[in-house]
Amino acid sequence: MFRHALSAIQNIGHRVIEGMWRLGHASRFFILVLLKSGTSLRRFGLVIRELYFTGVLSLIIIVVSGLFVGMVLGLQGYETLQKYGSESAVGTLVALSLVRELGPVVAALLFASRAGSAITAEIGLMKATEQLAAMGMMAVDPVSRVVAPRFWSGVISMPLLAAIFSVMGVYGGYLVTVVFIGVDEGTYWSQMQSAVDFRFDILNGFIKSCFFGVAVTAIAVFEGYDAPPTAEGVSGATTRTVVSSSLVILGLDFILTAFMFRGVS
Residues that bind another protein in the complex, under the rule CB under 8 A: 45, 48-49, 51-52, 55-56, 59, 84-86, 95, 99, 122, 125-126, 129-131, 133-141, 145, 157, 159-161, 163-164, 166-167, 170, 189, 192-194, 196-202, 206, 263-265
Cβ at position 247, least distance to another protein in Å: 26
Q: How far apart are CA 45 and CA 17, in angstroms?
A: 41
What is the nearest approach in angstroms of another protein to the Cβ of residue 197?
Answer: 7
Pick the closest to residue 147 from 222, 56, 48 (CA basis): 222
Nearest distance from C-beta of residue 15 to another protein, angstroms? 23
Nearer to another protein, 111 or 244 (CB): 111
The burial class, CB within 10 Å (0-12 / 13-18 / 19+), for 19 is: exposed
Task: Annotate 154-182 with b (16+ C-beta within 10 A) or e (fewer).
Answer: bbbbbbbbbbbbbbbbbbbbbebbbeeee
Amino acid of residue 9: I
Residue type, 64: V
Name the DSSP letter for residue 263: T
Query: Is the CB of 70 or the CB of 116 nearer to another protein?
Result: 70
Q: Integer distance in angstroms from the first to the last C-alpha of the chain? A: 52
- Find the length of the chain: 265
Considering the complex, state which of residue 48 and residue 243 has its C-beta at the smaller distance from another protein.
Answer: 48
CB of 75 to another protein, least distance (A): 19
The smaller minimum CB distance to another protein, of residues 106 and 244, is found at: 106
Q: For residues 1 and 137, which CB has a smaller minimum distance to another protein in the complex?
A: 137
State the minimum distance, in angstroms, from the CB of residue 56 to another protein.
Answer: 5
* Nearer CB in complex with another protein: 28/49: 49
Quick one: 7 or 130, whose CB is closer to another protein? 130
Q: Cβ 19 to another protein, closest distance in Å?
A: 23
Q: What are the residues whose beta carbons fall under 8 Å from the beta carbon of 181, sequence distance 6 or more?
A: 74, 78
Query: Which sign does the torsion angle of CA 190, 191, 192, 194 carry?
Result: positive
CB of 192 to another protein, least distance (A): 6
Residues in CB range of 125: below 8 A, 6 or more apart = 234
How many CA atoms, within 13 angstroms, populate the side-chain half-sphere of residue 49? 12
